[in-house]
Structure 1
């Protein structure tokens, strides 16, 4: 290891300039390079996709359980979940993805101590943002009523959103831990921890909803408990695992400084996710103005849950790009981008065809109402096309952000 890797200041450039100046990115690659890059991408992205699925499954499982209580419970909880997603969870997801860029490039540049510093900064920012988010969620019912939504659905949505407030902080911390570990290619502990959490969530959710009879409130509270469970499991691993001894050395003063550096990338990253989520939220509000809002909202909520689930696959494909940029290998990063786009195209097309094939039975995962299932089946082709386009733009926006940030840091 050369001397520059031993004496890295906390704010030193993450990307060495020498290779960028002497080796322009290649436009063509031989078969061996492509196969090797594809194997690397799949070995990292495969477990991360599973982790992303399992994390989102907590909200999805709660909605599935609540759907068994009737159309009102399904429509109100789904409406609250969607609102919470665009005003809180989506914002933290997007801002947390900025940490993927910071930590990925620091790890590629072998500035290992900076991973812990970046994670501390992200944790502080995401915890502080929980305050305004919780205030918004506390008035969810009143917000929906002011938007001319069905009063009964609005009241129940407000109750569900208030019980979701305890989930804000652990969700933000979880995004920081996830990016911290995945940028080091530590993925199987994430799979194990989220797998355990999902199983625990099934038990907690059933107990709170049907065992204790808490209904919607129990479904929302179970999400917070499960997120905190996952946070504590990963915190124990990060603190005591030998694989993190160089990247996590404990809390430090450096982690409390230069929070603006994180915000400069965190806010645009969050906006990229939120702007898309906000467009979906308009779709949730519009059915509430139709003559049969319970049916319309139930169908729309299942559609949006499906889209959010599919969104998790392309969202986790870009980690290796930031690692290659941080290591000063621009043509390797260029190849990684092309592989990510190829995988996104394949995944989006496959899942879109699968959704159309199972359109007549997919709705039964959420509800026993046959009218809702038939309505969902009729819009499945449009939903499949939307998911296909969404997968492509997700990886394109992520790869573009990585390259822009890499150019900025190397300039």
Structure 2
């Protein structure tokens, strides 16, 4: 059942990658309000899509995964349209240049181990949930461990959000120092 659910999440995977890049682009320029607005609008649409796909079609629980994929695509498309059509990005967004590829290797040396670290941490918790199924009374132990993992994830998101905000503040200070040096 979980594999089938994951299969229906795949269409949103590529859109999620592009959405994260768009989010970082806007966050590094300290643009937050459009992020909230263009996340709230698709969220309102998401409720209707989930209800329709789960209750009105024969998809059942697969409709929830498909609705998540649709939600991610709508979020990305709305933010991408904002970036393309907003006047404040005319000087920033002049198309793709070869200069943007100069730091791919340097950034990948930092990004890939960081991504691996986060993946391994989350996978370790998921493996614990699977191993809980081997314990006596697996229904209760699996449920309790899943609750603990989800509680830990919520706590992690708070610190992750604070670290992202702190990084943006430091990035702005660094950018202003560079501008002063010029």
Match of 2:50 among 202, 205, 212: 205
Shift of 1:293: 3.5
Tell me, in whole angstroms, the C-alpha distance in 2 between the residues paired with 1:316 and 1:326: 21
Match of 2:172 among 308, 313, 323: 323
- 1:182 corresponds to which residue? 27
- 2:4 corresponds to which residue? 159
- 2:127 corresponds to which residue? 282
Calculate the TM-score normalised by the size of structure 1: 0.39
CA 1:159–1:174: 2 relative to 1, 3 Å: same
CA 1:268–1:328: 2 relative to 1, 3 Å: farther
Q: In the alignment, does 2:77 pair up with 1:236?
A: no
Count of aligned positions: 174
SS at match of 1:281: helix
Tell me, in whole angstroms, the C-alpha distance in 2 between the residues paired with 1:191 and 1:252: 29
Match of 1:263 among 108, 113, 116: 108
Q: In the alignment, does 2:40 pair up with 1:195?
A: yes
Q: Which moved more, 1:318-327 or 1:179-188?
A: 318-327
Tell me, in whole angstroms, the C-alpha distance in 1 between the residues paired with 2:44 and 2:155: 21
Higher relative contact order structure (alpha carbons within 8 Å, sequence separation ≥ 6)? 1
Shift of 1:230: 0.2
Tell me, in whole angstroms, the C-alpha distance in 2 between the residues paired with 1:218 and 1:253: 41
Q: List, as ranges, runs of 4+ consecutive aligned residues in structure 1 with deviation greater than 4 Å.
A: none
Tell me, in whole angstroms, the C-alpha distance in 2 between the residues paired with 1:268 and 1:189: 31
Larger Rg: 1
- 1:377 corresponds to which residue? none
Tell me, in whole angstroms, the C-alpha distance in 1 between the residues paired with 2:140 and 2:50: 24
RMSD: 2.1
CA 1:259–1:190: 2 relative to 1, 3 Å: same
Tell me, in whole angstroms, the C-alpha distance in 2 between the residues paired with 1:224 and 1:165: 7
SS at match of 2:133: helix
Tell me, in whole angstroms, the C-alpha distance in 1 between the residues paired with 2:42 and 2:153: 19
